[in-house]
Amino acid sequence: MKGRRFLWMSGLGLVLFGIAIWLLFHQELSSKRPIEEFHLSMELKELDRAQVDEVLEPYLGKSFWDVELNKIQADLVRLDWVSQAVVKRSWPDQLKISIVEQNPVARWGNDGLVNHKGEVFFPNNLQRFEHFVRLEGRIENSAGLLAKLAEFQQKLNEIGWTVERLQETANGVWEIHILDGPTLILDQQDQHHKFQRFLAAYPDLKNGFRKSAQVYDLRYSNGFAIKLKEAKASTLSDNNR
């Protein structure tokens, strides 16, 4: 019984040793195999395929096992429309590339776009995005501006207004530019109350004020001011609306 077990264990050991030798030999041969091609696993919408090819082509002919996947991914992410990139080896001589493109939801000033996470990126061509809402402010607060845009637009839906441009000034004042309409100016202090007060009062304003209004300044503690296009201003308090 012990002899049979010894023979069985010896045989198993030889088999495992043989497998280990084969794997080492196979990996040694494989490490010298060059990368012959790369394959994109999705269709590109905004990203130029030529840009991807330019990044990947220098890696063709490199060792299948020695090529640095993290470096390729980093090179791809530097492309203006790439949000994420994953590169994997595919035996025997292929790289598989998966790319997540940026999802723009707003403009950033004159030169950039803002994605759905509030991150700013700068593609080469912005022509198709001229109609997007424009955000302006500190780039480190881009996500905050995007959140404010959603907040303000939700409130302005009550009176049928659409934000065309939202700007946060250096002193924390918000300028809300309405599409084909006036501009709202709002500060940080008691902001929610001031905005709601304006929304409640707007339907009762005379048509002359509505048509001639260029700026609604909501920063007053007891009402808001209207700057007219004819450069005349009228201040409305809680008592004379």
Q: How far is CA 204 from CA 21, 210, 222, 240, in A?
A: 87, 10, 17, 11
Q: Do the first three CATH levels of 33-101 and 105-237 match, i.e. the same topology?
A: no
Question: What is the model's pTM?
Answer: 0.78
Could you state, in order of their start, the residue ranges of all structural domains in the chain? 1-31, 33-101, 105-237
* 105-237 CATH pick, 2.40.100.10, 3.40.50.10190, 3.50.50.60, 3.40.50.11690: 3.40.50.11690
- Amino acid letter for position 225: A
pLDDT (tens, 9 = 90+) of the chain, 241 residues, equals: 555 555 555 555 555 555 655 555 455 555 568 999 999 998 999 999 999 999 999 999 999 899 999 999 999 999 999 999 999 999 889 999 999 999 999 999 999 999 999 999 999 889 899 999 999 999 999 999 999 999 999 999 999 999 999 999 989 999 999 999 999 999 999 999 999 999 999 999 999 889 999 999 999 999 999 999 875 544 554 444 4
What CATH number matches the domain at 33-101, 3.10.20.310, 3.40.50.1000, 3.40.50.2300, 3.30.460.80?
A: 3.10.20.310
